[in-house]
Chain A
Amino acid sequence: MRQPTISLLSGSLFGGGLAISGMMDPKRVRGFLDIFGAWDPTLAFVMGGAILVMAVAWLWQRRLSKPVFAAEFSLPATQLIDRKLIGGAILFGVGWGLAGLCPGPAIGALIIEPVYAALFIGCMLVGMALHRLAKL
């Protein structure tokens, strides 16, 4: 019963944070990437706030032998910087710049722009499925 609660709570705070910070506005996110135009630095403040809290959480995590409500930590162990990572990050940046949307804000934006957000999410899921089929 605790795992669903953690997930629901974490998701709600995440969605609330994205909403308050203006990150559900593709125009604003695009503005952060528009360094040669009317640059909007808001996204840097969002990242700063989030990283500040998470840095403390990582320090705390080192002192725990297991998570508070789960049997063990399930964290990415790979340290590899390979072609997949680089290629994937380049592609993600291209899509992010084209639409001004990444997965979190797109999902949250379903409550304000249901049709456009659903179109983006639907295509995102198709892209994910294509990657799975390509077995990259």
Chain B
Amino acid sequence: MSLPGFPDAMPLEGFVGGLLIGLAAAIMLLGSGRIAGISGIAARAFGLAKSDQPVPIAWFFLIGLLIGALLIDTFVAPIQSTFPSSPALLIAGGLIVGFGTRMGSGCTSGHGVCGLSRLSPRSLFATATFIASGMVTVAITNMFGWTW
């Protein structure tokens, strides 16, 4: 399904995937009583965060994430993906995302999905801020021709 005016958009696939992501976060909340915040879970898995979540439980989530992606890629449709051609963008992006998500206590999953749906003012503020700063960053990188 396509959206008039936006030839590349995948509204239906996006919405269905979003429902699955919401279900994932709901199972974590109602089953384990925790936020499905991936920056926190990743930090916990690698011993970079203090939490009462046992490290193996964090690993189970990350392994699940790979299994879910693999199942879709194998049985539903091959995952389309275009990465930046410049490793420098991945290196700089990775370093800044790692530092920023720890400093700001969350990323798109924790603040964006779990926090917004909880009507948390803190998460609303964080989400609006990182989307705005992402938009500014993309606009600036476009000016320098750092695109792909």
Contact = CB atoms under 8 A, between A and B. Distances in A.
Interface string B64-105: 111111111100110111111001011111111111111111
B139 A50 contact: no
A119 B105 contact: no
Contacts of A110: 66
Contacts of B116: 47, 51
A61 B35 CA distance: 12
Interface of B, secondary structure class, is helix
Interface of A, secondary structure class, is helix
Given A26-B81, A64-B30, A90 B17 contact: no
Interface residues of B, number: 116
B97 A103 contact: yes
Interface residues of A, number: 117
A26 B93 CA distance: 12
Interface of B: 3, 6, 8-36, 38-39, 42-43, 46, 48-49, 52-54, 56-58, 60-73, 76-77, 79-84, 87, 89-105, 107-109, 111-114, 116-118, 120-122, 125-127, 129-139, 141-142, 146-148
Given A8-B67, A61-B29, A74-B33, 8 more contacts: A25-B82, A40-B9, A92-B100, A96-B93, A97-B134, A99-B93, A100-B93, A113-B81
